[in-house]
Each structure stands twice: as structure tokens, then as C-alpha cells.
Chains A and B, each alone.
Chain A
Amino acid sequence: DQQVKQNSPSLSVQEGRISILNCDYTNSMFDYFLWYKKYPAEGPTFLISISSIKDKNEDGRFTVFLNKSAKHLSLHIVPSQPGDSAVYFCAARTSPSYGKLTFGQGTILTVHP
């Protein structure tokens, strides 16, 4: 049972444009959501997070939006840069099991110069 889904396996974007990565979840008990970025042969690195009490969190070029009623979150990258090319995972967790992250399958983002 896939509780966190990233339905787009890949996304290709031109440099300077906006990248939008989507994530859907089914477990209404999730109260904290995270995005991780992963380069080949490296572990995932934390990018940005959002609590379920918010609907938006912004950090530089990265913004995460949360729509609880739709059980949907998205990551916007503006402007996209070639160095953003990586696999992006969304993840979620519930209180009090803070240690247990549930991940989506990942989306491969390619930003073309």
C-alpha cells in the first residue's frame, strides 16, 4: 500500500523556467512533509519541509505547497538551474513516530541549459 505517491517518474524543464514536482498521499495522519534531493551515488539531502498547519513554506528558489483537503503537495523551483537535475523524493511522517519517514518513489528532474 503506497501511502505517498509521486506519479510522474520524470520531468524535463528548460533552465530559467519553473519546475513543479507533485506528490499525493493517502494517510490523513501525516502531519509533517519533507522534500529530499538525491544525486547519483549519494544519499538523499534534505531540501525543504512543511508542517500540516501551514499551506506554504518558502526557502530561496524552493517553495512547497500543501493542500490538505486534496492530500497533495508540490515543490516549485524557480528559476530552475542545471544543478537542480537530480531525483526528488517527497516524504511524510506522523506524530509521534517522528523517526519513520514514508517516501514516494521519486521524480527524476532534468534541467536543460
Chain B
Amino acid sequence: GAGVSQSPSNKVTEKGKDVELRCDPISGHTALYWYRQRLGQGLEFLIYFQGNSAPDKSGLPSDRFSAERTGESVSTLTIQRTQQEDSAVYLCASSVGQGISYEQYFGPGTRLTVT
């Protein structure tokens, strides 16, 4: 079946502009996650959604970052007034649920470059 898809695959934007990144999770997956990976670093947790529960936003680095999810489908990550330090690969993942052994399936990521 189809995996997690993300769009765009690459995005170049000017400092100060807003960007929206999209994630389509695997159908039937109730949990959805956003991570980012800066150059030479590990993946950094940003936010996750589980069903109708309030999202865990504890990883969002500033109030310029926000994310929405429509039901149990598409999610968008919005970065307002982008800064150069926002340049990274943004990865989305989904899982069947949120249990301790539920594997997270990752998309290919969106490479964001802020000039």
C-alpha cells in the first residue's frame, strides 16, 4: 500500500516568508508525528497528533511553528516568518496507534532552505 507522502519535496524560501509543509499519512493510521533534522544532527521531535486528543506540541521550537491535522488524515506544518536556522529536512511519520511498540513509518521529508 501507499506509504507516508510529503510535499513539496524541496522548498526554497526567503527569510521572513511563511511556508506550509504537507503530510499525507498512511490510511488508517491514527497517530501522526512531525520531526526535523538539521544538517549533521539527529531527528528532533516537533509535535504529534493522536486521534481526537489534544496534540503534544512540546517540541515546537517557537510560536512561529504550528501544525494542524484534519481528522485522521492530512496534516500541515506552518512556519511563519522563516529564519535561516529553520533550514532543515522536515519529516512526517504515522503509526497505527500510540502504543509502546507501534512502529512509526516515515515519509521522505521536505527539505526546507531559507535564504
Contacts and interface: CB of A to CB of B under 8 A. Distances in A.
Contacts, number: 64
A91 B43 CA distance: 9
A70 interface: no
A102 B45 contact: yes
Contacts of A41: 108
B44 interface: yes
A100 B56 contact: yes
Give chain A's interface secondary structure class: loop
Given A43-B91, A99-B33, A100-B58, A106 B42 contact: yes
Interface residues of B, number: 29
Interface of A: 4, 6, 31-32, 36, 41-46, 49, 51, 89, 91, 93, 95, 97-106
11 contacts: A43-B106, A46-B105, A49-B103, A89-B43, A95-B100, A98-B102, A100-B56, A100-B58, A101-B45, A103-B35, A105-B41
Interface of B: 4, 31, 33, 35, 40-45, 48, 50, 56, 58-59, 91, 93, 98-109
